[in-house]
């Protein structure tokens, strides 16, 4: 069976994810605002969950329709072929969000949609009630500008939960965003790579995984693995294909932080991710960064502070690192910051800037090329 697949993502990563999806074999992958769409069967669901680095989830879209009233929302959901995916005993909780629509009550929309799906399931399977004692199918809805999109989540835990980060520092960078920064920087294992504000090590770990071309979902479970019709053999085949695409080389990946505890946490996380031998961690102050290179890429996310005192401290960090940066040669710099005065504090305008979101926080990726 062919499905319409939707991969929601952090704003700013749509293009890189669409390109990544096409490399995984999804030729029709197309970027939209906050999501990427493509099509495929059960095997495609497995390959996408295991292989995508930057998406948040892999969803099966059941349908989309205009819904300016609760009646329209109910009828639009009721006519969709839920029985084609959900077995008669499926458990189907409903979650979602509303934005800029006439229907803005999430609990009311959940209730209406739950009732609509139940009515469809009872009619399709000729049963008086839905037992919901079987496998879990999470229904996710988005109601935006009076347009409803209804999907079923194949991933379960979001894709950024790789499983390697059991310990973390304050305000850690989401794994999918870290992978996006590495991708935008164009690092594929050649030349030197460094994160001088490594925190819990996420950027360096994602760089190592990208250099090896190791699929981020190799070692975790996904919701659809427990669904009838999604044979576990398909998942094993997808994992085997992903392993065959791996590279094994001598990579020069460095990560450092001024906090010894953060560096130890980063080392532990790298070991869990299977890249402990590829990343060279050290305790160091980024203000004293002096590493030489013939071809290097720095990707980093220094603290930028959301409270006033933190922002003042961040400005001092930017100034000191800017002075160190101007003494370097052959390094490209990709620095993520949400500080509105970053370039002034750093002491140099960026060659390019790109808008990204760190969760709900609007940021810029400052590129010094």
pLDDT tens profile 120-159: 999 999 999 999 999 999 999 999 999 999 999 999 999 9
Nearest Cα neighbor of 273 from 199, 200, 221, 206 is 206
Cα separation, 217 vs 47, in Å, equals: 9
pLDDT at 240 over 60: yes
pLDDT surpassing 80 at residue 169: no
Residue 12: other Cβ atoms inside 10 A: 20
> What does the alpha-carbon distance between residue 203 and residue 132 come to, in Å, rounded to a whole number?
41
Res 229: pLDDT: 86
Alpha carbon 268 to its chain centroid, in Å, reads 21
- 369 pLDDT band, cuts 50/70/90, is very high
What element of type H or E holds 185?
A: helix 175-185
In this predicted structure, what is the pLDDT of residue 6? Answer: 98
Report the pLDDT value the prediction gives residue 303, as an integer from 0 to 100.
83
Q: Are strands 352-358 and 361-368 parallel, antiparallel or unpaired?
A: antiparallel
pLDDT band, residue 324 (cuts 50/70/90):
very high
Average pLDDT, the chain: 95
Q: Helix, strand, or coil here: 92?
A: coil
* pLDDT at position 304: 67
What does DSSP assign to residue 33?
Answer: T
Does residue 89 have a pLDDT over 90? yes
Instruction: State the pLDDT confidence band at 167, using cuts at 50, 70 and 90.
Output: confident
Is pLDDT of 1 > 70? Answer: yes
Name 106's Cβ contacts closer than 8 Å, sequence gap at least 6.
Answer: 96, 97, 98
Mean pLDDT score, 208-229: 95
- Neighbouring CB atoms inside 10 A of 335's CB total 24
Q: What is the pLDDT of residues 292-312, one digit of tens each?
A: 999 999 999 998 655 445 778
Which pLDDT score is estimated for 147?
A: 97
What is the rounded CA–CA span in Å between residue 113 and residue 80?
11
Instruction: Identify the band that residue 171 occupies on the pLDDT scale cut at 50, 70 and 90.
Output: low
Query: For 189-200, how does the pLDDT look when each residue is reduced to its tens digit (9 = 90+)?
Result: 999 999 999 999
Q: What are 25-36's pLDDT values in tens digits?
A: 999 999 999 999
Residue 353 backbone dihedrals phi, psi, to 5 degrees: -135, 150
Q: How confident is the model at residue 360 (pLDDT cuts 50, 70, 90)?
A: confident
Q: What is the predicted pLDDT for the residue at 308?
A: 44
The DSSP call for residue 282 is E
Mean pLDDT of 314-330: 95
Please list the helix, strand and coil fractions of the chain in percent, rounded to the nearest 5, in that order: 35, 25, 40
* Percent of the chain residues past pLDDT 90, beyond the cut: 92
pTM of the model: 0.94
Res 24 pLDDT > 90: yes
Kindly indicate the confidence band of residue 172, based on its pLDDT and cuts at 50, 70 and 90. Answer: confident
Q: Is the pLDDT of residue 359 over 90?
A: no
Please name which of 181, 163, 162, 246 lies closest in space to residue 211, comparing C-alpha atoms. Answer: 246
Across the range 72-89, mean pLDDT stands at: 98
Query: Which pLDDT tens digit goes with each residue over 93-102?
Result: 999 999 999 9
pLDDT at site 307: 46
Convert the pLDDT of each residue in 325-342 to its tens digit: 999 999 999 999 999 999
The confidence score (pLDDT) of residue 312 equals 82
Query: How far apart are alpha carbons 368 and 115 in whole angstroms?
Result: 54
Residue 257 pLDDT > 70: yes
At 186, the pLDDT band (50, 70, 90 cuts) reads very high
Measured in degrees and rounded to the nearest 5, phi and psi for residue 160 equal -70, -15
Domains recognised in the chain with CATH numbers: 3-153 (3.30.2130.30), 175-215+246-368 (3.40.50.150)
* Residue 336, token pair as written in the block: 């993520």
Long-range contacts of 112-116 (CB under 8 A, 24+ apart): 112/70, 112/73, 112/74, 112/77, 113/73, 113/74, 113/77, 113/139, 113/141, 113/150, 115/74, 116/73, 116/74, 116/75, 116/76, 116/77, 116/78
CB 365 within 8 Å of CB 335? yes
The predicted model gives 167-178 an average pLDDT of: 82
Beta carbons of 27 and 73 less than 8 angstroms apart: no
């Amino acid at each position: 069976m062919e499905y319409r697949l939707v991969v929601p993502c952090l704003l700013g990563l749509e293009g890189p994810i669409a390109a990544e999806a096409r490399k995984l074999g999804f030729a029709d992958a197309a970027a939209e605002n906050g999501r990427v769409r493509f099509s495929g069967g059960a095997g495609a669901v497995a390959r996408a969950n295991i292989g995508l680095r930057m998406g948040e989830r892999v969803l099966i879209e059941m349908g989309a329709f205009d819904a300016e009233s609760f009646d329209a929302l109910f009828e639009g959901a009721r006519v969709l072929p839920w029985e084609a995916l959900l077995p008669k005993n499926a458990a189907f909780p409903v979650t979602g969000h509303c934005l800029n629509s006439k229907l803005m009550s999430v609990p009311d929309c959940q209730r209406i949609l739950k009732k609509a799906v139940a009515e469809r399931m009872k009619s399709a399977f000729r049963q008086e009630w839905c037992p919901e004692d079987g496998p879990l199918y999470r229904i996710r809805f988005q109601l935006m500008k009076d347009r409803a999109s209804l999907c079923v989540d194949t991933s379960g835990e979001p894709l950024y939960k790789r499983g390697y980060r059991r310990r973390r520092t304050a305000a850690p960078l989401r794994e999918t965003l870290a992978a996006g920064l590495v991708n935008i920087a164009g690092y594929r294992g050649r030349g030197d790579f460094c994160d001088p504000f490594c925190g819990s090590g996420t950027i360096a770990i994602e760089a190592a995984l990208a250099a090896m071309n190791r699929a981020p979902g190799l070692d975790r479970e996904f919701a659809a693995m427990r669904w009838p019709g999604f044979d576990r053999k398909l998942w094993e085949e997808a994992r085997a294909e992903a392993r065959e695409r791996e590279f094994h080389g001598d990579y020069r990946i460095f990560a450092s932080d001024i906090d010894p505890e953060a560096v130890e946490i980063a080392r532990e996380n790298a070991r869990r991710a299977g890249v402990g031998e590829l990343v060279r961690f050290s305790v160091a102050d980024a203000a004293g960064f002096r590493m030489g290179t013939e071809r290097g890429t720095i990707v980093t996310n220094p603290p930028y502070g959301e409270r006033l005192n933190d922002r003042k401290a961040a400005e001092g960090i930017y100034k000191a690192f800017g002075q160190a940066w101007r003494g370097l040669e052959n390094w490209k710099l990709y620095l993520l910051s949400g500080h509105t005065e970053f370039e002034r504090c750093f002491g140099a305008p960026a060659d390019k800037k790109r808008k990204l979101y760190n969760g709900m926080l609007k940021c810029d990726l400052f590129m010094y090329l």
